[in-house]
Amino acid sequence: MKIIIAGGGRVGGTLAARLVNEQHQVTVVERDAAICHRLFEDIGVLTVCGDATDPSVLEEAGISSADVAAGVLARDAENLAFATLVRASSTARVMVRMLDTRYREAYRLAGVSELVEEAEVVVAKMTTAIDFPQVAGSLPLASGDAILFELKVNPRALVSGRTVAQVRATPGFPRECVFIGLVDLEGRITLPDGSTVLRAGYTVILVAHRDELARAVESLTAEPPREAQGTPLEQTLRRVDFLAPLSDEELATVTRGAEYLRLAAGEPLFKKGEPGETFYVVVSGQVNLVADGGRVVESMKPGDFFGEIALLTGEPRSTGAVAAATCELAAVGREDFRDVLMANPAVALEMSRILGQRLARAAQENRGPHKRKGLFGR
């Protein structure tokens, strides 16, 4: 689109840079020649040095063929004059930044289609940030009656690992609070549906009525009782004996690095003899550990884990692993432990000691008449 921006100050310059980046045809009208030069040099935007309330300057900027005209001048009187001139000479949509709400009716009469109330936006964002420090960002909608907000999924939150449908069914969650986006750890955004899982560390984007924002934030950030702290993945990892030396914070760091995998029935996860670099937790479905010839050694169901020896030793797999049904796994790699162990070598030594004792017990049992299968053999 062809867009004319009146005013090249902080707001006008930032708006121009964003629009140029999105491949729009942008012209900035600005009185200050130094600002015009800087905008052209910094972002490559076309500039016209002159007064945006002068009809001849607007004509030079190409207002007659513009699709959108945006007024971000320093005073409402100037923005109003700009809007009036645009409506008289162009069919462009007119939008302005309103500083003083007393100009609202004048802007309406001038045919302004979009009003951005700067003070209201700033006040709404600041009050939301004060009342809800968990909220990463917010934007008022519908004159402030609704709030668009972002919130990062805490690994300890009850919603971590749950689907959108499960969260919406939670008692107390506002029915009219809508999930509109999910941003993963790499910054990619998806449009969620009921089956979308809220992963730890992901950012959810929602819209809620202002008077329901408190309930929405409370539902999304609620944590288990202190005696049951931890996400389901953390609680599962707590049952692994050689991870016991990890503190709650260290364990949370490890789980944040977990990668979630989805396998179809019959799809192999790894083969016997492959390097062991990853530890797995079954989130849903079933995985069979198989020996030579496809014989099932053990079936792993939701909450079960296998491959944990790989976290420390990297030894080849002693069995293969195949999805017995459609399943979802949380995969924790050796690299995810690097920062934790480097920051606390004593933890690594204690983990190694526990693992050594465990392997020694296994060797002792294997010399007896009965061999017991255990987690160490996976």
How far is CA 274 from its chain centroid? Answer: 34
Q: Are strands 320-323 and 287-290 parallel, antiparallel or unpaired?
A: antiparallel
Percent of the chain scoring above 90 in pLDDT: 42
* Cα gap 94→57, rounded to integer Å: 17
Asked whether the predicted pLDDT for residue 130 surpasses 90, the reply is: no
Selection from 264, 257, 262 nearest residue 234 by Cα: 257
Tell me: the pLDDT tens digits for 232-286? 677 777 766 666 667 777 777 777 777 888 899 999 999 998 888 888 888 888 9
pLDDT band at 131 (very low <50, low <70, confident <90, very high): confident
Asked whether the predicted pLDDT for residue 346 surpasses 90, the reply is: no
Query: What would the DSSP string read from start to end of 8-46?
Result: -SHHHHHHHHHHHHTT-EEEEEES-HHHHHHHHHHH--E
Cross-sheet strand order for the sheet of 25-30: 46-49, 25-30, 2-6, 68-71, 93-98, 114-117
Asked whether the predicted pLDDT for residue 378 surpasses 50, the reply is: no
User: To the nearest whole number, what is the mean pLDDT of the chain?
Assistant: 83
- Which pLDDT belongs to residue 117? 80
Please say whether the beta carbons of 278 and 332 come within 8 A.
yes
Tell me: the pLDDT tens digits for 156-205? 788 888 899 999 998 899 989 999 999 988 888 999 998 898 988 889 99
Please say whether the beta carbons of 150 and 134 come within 8 A.
no
- Which pLDDT belongs to residue 78? 95
* Cα gap 367→151, rounded to integer Å: 55
Cβ-proximal residues to 83 (8 Å cutoff; 6+ apart), any chain: 69, 71, 94, 96, 107, 110, 111, 112
- Indicate the CATH number of 132-221 among 3.30.70.1450, 3.40.50.510, 2.40.50.140, 3.40.50.1820: 3.30.70.1450
- Which pLDDT belongs to residue 376? 31
- Which pLDDT belongs to residue 223? 81
- Which pLDDT belongs to residue 367? 57
Residue predicted with more confidence, 119 or 49: 49
Please say whether the beta carbons of 341 and 352 come within 8 A.
no
Handedness of CA 194, 199, 200, 206 (dihedral sign): negative
Asked whether the predicted pLDDT for residue 25 surpasses 60, the reply is: yes
Query: What would the DSSP string read from start to end of 336-363?
Result: GGHHHHHH-HHHHHHHHHHHHHHHHHHH
To the nearest 10°, report the CA torsion of 339, 341, 343, 347.
150
- Which pLDDT belongs to residue 372? 34
Most confident of 221-225, 262-266, 342-346: 262-266
Please say whether the beta carbons of 45 and 16 come within 8 A.
yes
CATH class of 2-116: alpha beta
- Which pLDDT belongs to residue 358? 60
Provide the whole-model pTM. Answer: 0.46
Tell me: the pLDDT tens digits for 311-332? 666 778 888 999 999 998 888 8
pLDDT band at 32 (very low <50, low <70, confident <90, very high): very high
- Which pLDDT belongs to residue 359? 65
- Which pLDDT belongs to residue 5? 96
Please say whether the beta carbons of 146 and 207 come within 8 A.
yes
Please say whether the beta carbons of 52 and 12 come within 8 A.
no
* Cα gap 170→193, rounded to integer Å: 16
Domain boundaries, the chain: 2-116, 132-221, 232-377
Cross-sheet strand order for the sheet of 178-183: 135-141, 146-152, 203-209, 178-183, 189-190
- Indicate the CATH number of 232-377 among 2.170.190.11, 2.60.120.10, 2.60.40.10, 2.130.10.10: 2.60.120.10
Asked whether the predicted pLDDT for residue 222 surpasses 50, the reply is: yes
Instruction: Catalogue the E-assigned strands of the chain.
Output: 2-6, 25-30, 46-49, 68-71, 93-98, 114-117, 135-141, 146-152, 178-183, 189-190, 203-209, 259-263, 268-270, 278-284, 287-290, 296-300, 305-306, 320-323, 327-333
Q: Do domains 132-221 and 232-377 have the same CATH topology?
A: no
- Which pLDDT belongs to residue 371? 40
Half-sphere CA count of 81, side-chain side, radius 13 A: 12
Selection from 23, 20, 60, 63 nearest residue 44 by Cα: 20
To the nearest 10°, report the CA torsion of 315, 316, 320, 322.
70
- Which pLDDT belongs to residue 85? 95
163: three-class secondary structure by DSSP: strand
Cβ-proximal residues to 145 (8 Å cutoff; 6+ apart), any chain: 209, 210
Mean local confidence (pLDDT), 120-140: 76
- Which pLDDT belongs to residue 283? 82
Residue 217 dihedral angles phi and psi, to the nearest 5°: -65, -40
- Which pLDDT belongs to residue 370? 42
Mean local confidence (pLDDT), 101-113: 89
pLDDT band at 13 (very low <50, low <70, confident <90, very high): very high
Residue 27 dihedral angles phi and psi, to the nearest 5°: -130, 130
